[in-house]
Amino acid sequence: MSGNIILNLAISLDGYIADENGGFEWIVGDGSNKLNTIKKWDYSEFLKNIDVVVMGKNCFNQKFHNDFKEKEVYIATSEPMTDYDNIHFISNNICKTIIDLKNKNMNIFLFGGGILIDNFIKANIIDEYIIGIIPTILGKGIPLFLENNPKIDLHLEYYSIENGITILKYSKRKI
């Protein structure tokens, strides 16, 4: 048995995970509950099943790791840095390190950013994609999907809508 590698991010309707300055203030609903589904996405419940959080150095610099004091946090960085508390720095082959944790039956949350996530998409090792589509077109910013990705077939497992935000949960399609 093994764990899962789970991507969970919000994106603009045109596919950006942050504005061009790395900002995310735009990640809000449209204020309308007209199309809300009965079932709601529960981020707190999601986190209960997560053992490890993975993020890039920019997310670390923005202090997002402070939101995960009860989890092991792995930071991808090209700079040599010393681990402390629950924080682990990885400067080589992040995908292999995370696959090793998955094989120890750990559930891994790929938090961000775009360059970090791109490594996992290109290696086709993400088990679940949980995407919150924000009702905003940014026009430019940091994209979720970079170029030259492999074809990855997915199966819709879950969806919910709340205040114009659509949450889609996909798993890799079984062949």
Per residue in 35-67, pLDDT (tens digit) is 999 999 999 999 999 999 999 999 999 999 999
Average pLDDT over residues 85-100: 94
Each residue of 95-143: pLDDT tens digit? Answer: 999 999 999 999 999 998 888 999 999 999 999 999 999 999 999 999 9
Q: Is the pLDDT of residue 175 over 90?
A: no
Average pLDDT over residues 3-27: 95
Indicate the average pLDDT of the chain.
94
Q: Going by DSSP bridges, is the β-strand pair 165-172/154-162 parallel, antiparallel, or unpaired?
A: antiparallel
Q: Which of 20-24, 73-77, 105-109 has the lowest mean pLDDT?
A: 20-24
Question: Whole-angstrom Cα distance, residue 33 to residue 5?
Answer: 31
Domain ranges across the chain: 5-158
The SS3 assignment for 169 reads: strand
Contacts of 96 (CB under 8 A, 6+ apart): none
What predicted TM-score, i.e. pTM, was given to this entire model? 0.93
Q: Which of 10-14, 120-124, 171-175 has the lowest mean pLDDT?
A: 171-175
pLDDT of res. 7: 97
| Banded pLDDT at 1 (limits 50, 70, 90) | low
pLDDT of res. 118: 94
| Banded pLDDT at 13 (limits 50, 70, 90) | very high
Average pLDDT over residues 158-172: 97
pLDDT of res. 128: 97
pLDDT of res. 113: 83
Exposed (0-12), middle (13-18) or buried (19+): which is 5, by Cβ within 10 Å?
buried
CATH 3.60.15.10 is the classification of domain 5-158: no
What one-character DSSP code corresponds to residue 67? G
pLDDT of res. 112: 87
